[in-house]
Amino acid sequence: MKTNTKPNNDSIKNMNIGWQFDNSYARLSEFFYAQLHPVPVRAPRVAILNHALADSLGLEIRKLSEEEAALLFAGNAVPDMAQPIAQAYAGHQFGHFNMLGDGRAILLGEHLTLIGDRFDIQLKGSGQTPFSRRGDGRAALAPMLREYIISEAMHALNIPTTRSLAVVTTGESVMRETLLPGAILTRVAASHIRIGTFEYAAGLENTEGIKALADYTIGRHYPDLMDAENPYLLLLNRVIERQASLVAKWLLVGFIHGVMNTDNMTISGETIDYGPCAFMDAYDPNTVFSSIDHLGRYRYSNQPRIAQWNLARFAETLLPLIHPVQEKAITLAEEAIHAFPEIYQIHWTAGMRKKLGLFTDETEDIELIETLLAWMHKHRADYTNSFHALASKTLPEDAVFRDAEFVAWHARWQTRLSRQSSSMNMSLCLMRANNPAIIPRNHRVEEALSAASEHGDYLLIHQLLAAVTNPYVDAPEHSDYRIPPAPSERVYQTFCGT
């Protein structure tokens, strides 16, 4: 599938900033994508550039003038050797299957770093595609800045994630509930292959396409499986392992994705799509932020169960490859999927032990952890600050820590720590490395987004980024970012950017 909309590159010659494109996905059948260029925008301007990420990719964006950078990251100028495509995929959205695809995104190509790592470079908000359905193909500034902030915060928290290289404004408005300033985000990912990509081929009963996609995915992300006896079953197992680890990491920092549809779960195990996402303040397992999640399907505590459900949909697409006899294929796939809760629990428990400074495993640890969480829930204690306080040599002078139930729990915890051969200082170091002082709290994110989107003031964006990209540093200049929201500041809903 091809379209001929092509940006005009005549106004920019200096595009050689180190791009090394090798577009392997575009060598698959065009069944999986449509070839087209981004739709040029009227008056692009740089909102924010991620120089640290560019440096890690080997891209010398400092060689570009601001005007050149704006043209590049708006898609008005396409680098040589890029091969722009919109990817096709499907997905279960809140449990309902839909044929989807990149309705407002263009994959420019795959950039190879100097050490051979491969990254997708995608423009999000780059105009209509054959998959746009009734959408305008564009994005508003605030949601693109939100993705930039949250994805960079997640990276700093050592959670696998797509990242953000740039946001540019378009000089055009988009209509959502009101007219909003338009923007385009440049997203960097290990790949954009999703569970929904496999569902797309399966939904069209293209078994040959499923096999081609599976072989490609193994070669790109799991090359050690290529010569295995049953690489497709091992692919399922490996994706289950990565997603179990990923979702455990989310819960350990209080992150709520908000829209865990199968098209938003990557085969690489990266977090993708920062629409109605948020971090929990007061601990409550039933916390929901997404304005469209009316039944709490993707609430904080339900994320592991939804991950398992999504992985079952992935397993279904692989059945023809796992074994030629369907009954045997189903048995093998079910065994893999049923192992998810235990794999997840292992990752989550190991992470919780680190948050509590525990180097060893004891059977009572689960009850110790659950008692603390139950106390936090009962008293609506701040999740991040409570764990960070435990990593201090002395607890803060806070009334909640003088509660009798907490005092009893604290004594049990201290006894548990004393049974380790490791010193208390070693436990504190472990805790400080696993309990962030700062998360991108919703009210501070909204405050910064409002200033940028409504007034063109990016000072709060940069201040917030400086804090959330150093989350384990308890710097005095960032102390305000540790303060939970006042009742009047609480954010109860977050919104999808479409």
Question: Hey, is 330 helix, strand or coil?
Answer: helix
* Torsional sign, CA 162, 95, 138, 82: positive
d(CA 313, CA 141): 33
Annotated active-site residue in 263, 273, 281, 293: 263
144-179 burial: b if 16+ Cβ within 10 Å, else e: bbbbbbbbbbbbbbebbbbbbbbbbbbeeebebeee
d(CA 472, CA 122): 30
Q: Does the annotation mark 398 as catalytic?
A: no
**Interior CA angle at 309 toward 132 and 347, to 5°?**
115
Residue closest to 56 by CA, chosen among 99, 102, 115: 115
Instruction: Return the structure tokens found at 350.
Output: 């190991």
Give the DSSP H/E element, type plus range, for residue 240: helix 231-252
d(CA 212, CA 242): 22
Residue with tokens 């829209």: 259
Is residue 91 within 8 A of residue 195, CB to CB? The reply is: yes
Residue type (1 letter), 213: L
Is residue 47 within 8 A of residue 167, CB to CB? The reply is: yes
- What is the residue-wise DSSP string for 175-225? ESSSEEEEEEEEEEES---BHHHHHHHHHTT-HHHHHHHHHHHHHHH-GGG
Which residues have a catalytic role annotated? 263
